[in-house]
Chain A
Amino acid sequence: MVVAALCVAPISGAKRLAPPQNHATAEAPANAEPKPLSTRVVAYQIQATLVPREHKINASETLTYKNLTGQPQQTFPFHLYLNAFQPQSTFMTEVRLDGTRGSSSGTSWDPKHYGSETVTRLEVDGMGDVTKNIHFIHPDDNNTQDRTVFQVTLPTPVAPGASVTFRMDFVDVMPEVVERTGYKRDFYMVGQWFPKIGVWWKNQWNCHQFHAATEFFADFGTFDVKVTVPQDDVVGAAGDLVSSTNNSGGTKTLTFHSEDVHDFSWTASPHFTDVEDFWTGSAGTVRIHLLMSPGNMATAPRYLQALKGTLAYYDKNVGPYPYDRITVVDPPHGALDAGGMEYPTLITAGTAWWMPKGLLTPEVVVAHEFGHQYWYGMVATNEFEEAWLDEGINSYEEVKVMDALYGPKTSVINFPFAQMGDAESQRVSYLSMPDYDPLTRFAWQFVGDQSYGGITYGKTATVLLTLEKLLGENKMRDVMHQYFMRYRFTHPTGADFLKTIDDVSGQNLDWYFNQAVSGTNVLDYEIRDVRSDPVKWYESVSTGPRVYRSYVTVHRKGDFVFPVDVKVTFDDKSSTTEHWDGRDRWIRYTYERSAKVAAAQIDPDHKVWLDRNFFNNSRTVSSYDSTTHKLLNIWVFVNEWISQLVAWIA
């Protein structure tokens, strides 16, 4: 590991490290033009100048769009995401109603969090200035005050297979960090910052407004971006550094290039420390840059360990990582809203100076955000409409990574006195609002932010963990690998994912998907009753040792039908396991034995993660109050101590 505090130079590890090998060109013959990994629909060339005093970015953009829609196109929609940070926007209205990451509902919005994005000129090659043709559209909610999507109609249509070049000037006013992007002091996280064209998808334009709960969707292509910033800034970006030139006036211009990606973001701060490292996987060497903020350096080794572990896990189990770089941005204190976000080849993490080792938040964030490189980045599903395909699948893989690296029971919290595993954490998140929304709901149509988070992240992970137990771990690994390999650099749908599962498993799992994916059914089984009665002499046909008739009643409380095992243990230590298809509402098992039933347990191997209540899955005949004594002891102690603290006023 190389640690270098670069105050005047942009990050660039290429000089120190072996050049990446085999990236993106593995299948190409020598001297041949590398075959693109993706269908490149867009080519962006952007020149941006940061004006720190005004927190503005003055920029010009040239977008060449290749019309692969199969039909003439005359009208083109564009996202202007930063306009979400205006008082009357749809985003703000939704935040006021139900909150979102970093903002609670009902909070008055501080004007420092306002941001905007204004296109001052739009020309189309061969068609002239079409600025006056710009008008804002509101496809999701008819909010006429929302300016996050504009549409431009060209004088003449663009023929199928032809390209059209848009040239525009725009000005970004960056908010103080909010919802992933903005500035804090002299730190800038510049994401979703340029006019981005919508996606022609399912035979129509897909260009949704920016909502409180939605993320993004865009086409693959190339990015050539020049960024002009103060000379003492350390810059990280979602692209390879091509050149760096010092300008007069104390600025420098950095040129980045990136291909087979669908977004470009960058960050700048004079206080970053660039921690460089590399990792070699099946597709070659990956340069790692950690841009660490002041006070957080102690977390750098933790970030690195988690990142390398995640890279290795994905490389082995999901597929190769084809890019030659990954940058992890550690936001400075006060800018955590910029943390926990993914962009192609650049992710933002999050920690604090006081972060104890037993709290694995930095590791979880890195494992999660890096995982997005595969699902959001390469598989590139529509996050507006099917957020579960990205966030949910990624949360499942996050569990797998974290459990593999840090242990299943200790992968989120690992103190000697308290623990929590990531799978449990995802499940608990799902349990907070389990039955309001199905996975398949459009992201902005969930009942609220809590349901969106619990269902999209937590429930999907829990559904897939249960599926893994149903199919077997190896088969599930194969499913994820096949899904990635089939659909990388495309825009698959939920149906594609489910079909892949059916294909790989060789089963028709509609019965499961109908309940777990498109339904809101809740799975809850309970042992309702365990009992043993001595068989009376007049009931018994044999004379011998005393016989007991034991009953075990299992109840399906929820609407979710799922086959389960029931293990019945007797007081002579013998046991038997029953298999119930769960179709009826209840089932009673009856045994006549010389031993009495001691306990019954549904799902003894803990396969059914979707079960809403694990505590009623078992019942013992004898009462063991050790757990309640332990809890009572803690609660009494806390109560006594708080009482004494309060009585200090006496």
Chain B
Amino acid sequence: MLDMAIDSTQRAPRPGPRAFFAGAGLVWTRQRILWWILAVNLVLAFAGASFLAHNVAENSGVALNTSLESARRLFHGFDLSALAELGSLPQQPLRGMSTMYIWPSFFFTLFMIFSTGGILVSYYDDLRLDAAGFFEACGRHFWRFVRLAIYFAVAMIPIFFLGSLLGSLYDNVDDAAVSPYSSVAFLAAVIVFFLFLLISIRIWFDMAQVISMAKNDRRMYRMLGRSAKLVWNNFGSLFWLYIRISVIGWVVFAAGLCLWMLVLPPESTGVALLLGQAMIAVWLGTRLWQRASETEWYKQYRMALYQPVPMPPPPPAPSPVPEVETLTPS
């Protein structure tokens, strides 16, 4: 009961900076989580893409593995018309390229919903959970977080309509403006606004997960209410925490892409594989960093609120009372 009152009304006693670094520390010390998730991500993605590679490698009309042409146009450089040619062949070796990500994404999302409970408990309790403990935590929170994911999807509905509305507005601005830069500026503003909105909602749901985990409370609707009040009262701190890590993730990812596209020779497959996986690991790591930092933030926040109230200085001593000699009966 005390927690509820605290969550709803009070600002955090500025745990931000500590949470930022402590979150990074947690991700580092709980590296196994990162590598396991990356492995699942990789396996699912490989499963999704390998049939396509098999198609182009073995398809009777297109045997890339035994074609000198494939080396000429795709290995030494990357001739986009070669891909277009593959796509136009009657054997359709590239069929499924545009849908290959659907099932891996679905299963990976499901996996992330499942594992979030274990991840948060591991970060929050500062425990090196064994497999049993981790999966017990995952299972305990799975359905709660499924419900939260559904609520998240519901929360996206008005965002979707807002997006359509702003899209129409953009069309009108673009239609009327003589210079394209007016609509570009408008579009940039819309994108920034949308990112802000989406991140805010994500923080709201992230904190609902953290609170639910910390209190072991399955009433997710209620958790969303508490999280909303908590985020509302501490928005600056939480948003700053989240956005800083996001920016780091984007910058590293962009740098990796530049390296891959501009520096690596086109024939490099081994180094490209390592670089690609490093980029994916950093991307995943920043998301876990956000989760760890939020968890740490909440932990510090609660600890700050639970600190024992310092005892007031003792009242001045009362005026001396004449010592009464007591007589001890002998």
Contact = CB atoms under 8 A, between A and B. Distances in A.
Interface stretch (A35-43, A238-246, A575-583, A623-631): A623-631
Interface in A627-643: 627-633, 635-643
B4 interface: no
Nearest to A567: B68
Interface in B61-117: 61-71, 73-75, 77-82, 84-86, 88-89, 97, 100-101, 104-106, 108-109, 111-113, 116
Contact of B62 (A616, A623, A650): A616
A352 interface: yes
A335 B109 CA distance: 42
Given A415-B261, A633-B273, A617 B42 contact: no
A172 B246 CA distance: 56
Nearest to B53: A632
Contacts of B180: 294-296, 332-333, 352-353
Interface string B286-311: 01000000000000000000000000
Nearest to B108: A643
Contact of A418 (B71, B75, B78): B78
Please indicate which of the listed interface residues B56, B70, B272, B279 has the most CB atoms of chain A within 10 Å of its own CB.
Answer: B70
A240 B79 CA distance: 44
Nearest to B86: A615
Interface of B: prevailing SS: helix
A646 B152 CA distance: 13
B184 to A, nearest CB: 7
A402 to B, nearest CB: 14
A293 to B, nearest CB: 9
A650 B74 contact: no
B273 A413 contact: no
B71 A626 contact: yes
A185 B80 contact: no
B45 interface: yes
Contacts of A638: 49, 101
B79 A424 contact: yes
Contacts of A418: 78-80
A354 to B, nearest CB: 8
B284 A644 contact: yes
Interface stretch (A364-372, A425-433, A534-542): A425-433
Nearest to A295: B180
A119 interface: no
Interface residues of A, number: 65
Contacts of B49: 632, 635-636, 638-639
A216 B67 CA distance: 44
Contacts of B81: 420-421, 424-425, 427-428
Nearest to A432: B88
Contacts of A601: 68
Contacts of A635: 48-49, 52-53, 97, 100
A630 B74 contact: yes
B57 interface: yes
A361 to B, nearest CB: 14
B143 interface: no
A294 B276 CA distance: 40
Contact of B67 (A332, A615, A631, A650): A615
Nearest to A612: B89
Contact of A624 (B65, B181, B276): B65
B328 to A, nearest CB: 75
Contacts of B327: none
Contact of B41 (A419, A621, A643): A643
A613 interface: yes
Nearest to A633: B273
A631 B67 CA distance: 15
Contacts of B131: none
B2 interface: no
A428 B101 contact: no
A257 interface: no
Contacts of B108: 643-644, 646-647
A614 interface: yes
A623 B61 CA distance: 16
Given A333-B174, A649-B109, A650-B116, A640 B153 contact: no
A420 B82 CA distance: 9
A334 interface: yes
Interface in B165-206: 174-176, 178-181, 183-184, 202
Which 3 A-B residue pairings sit nearest by Cβ, starting from the closest? A639-B45, A424-B81, A635-B49
26 contacts: A271-B178, A294-B180, A418-B80, A419-B77, A420-B79, A431-B85, A614-B85, A615-B64, A615-B89, A616-B63, A626-B269, A627-B65, A628-B64, A629-B53, A632-B49, A633-B273, A636-B45, A637-B277, A637-B279, A639-B46, A639-B49, A639-B100, A643-B41, A643-B101, A646-B108, A649-B149
Given A418-B79, A428-B88, 6 more contacts: A334-B174, A427-B81, A615-B63, A628-B56, A636-B45, A643-B105
Interface of A: 185-186, 271, 294-296, 332-334, 352-353, 409, 413, 415-421, 424-425, 427-428, 431-432, 599, 601, 612-633, 635-644, 646-650
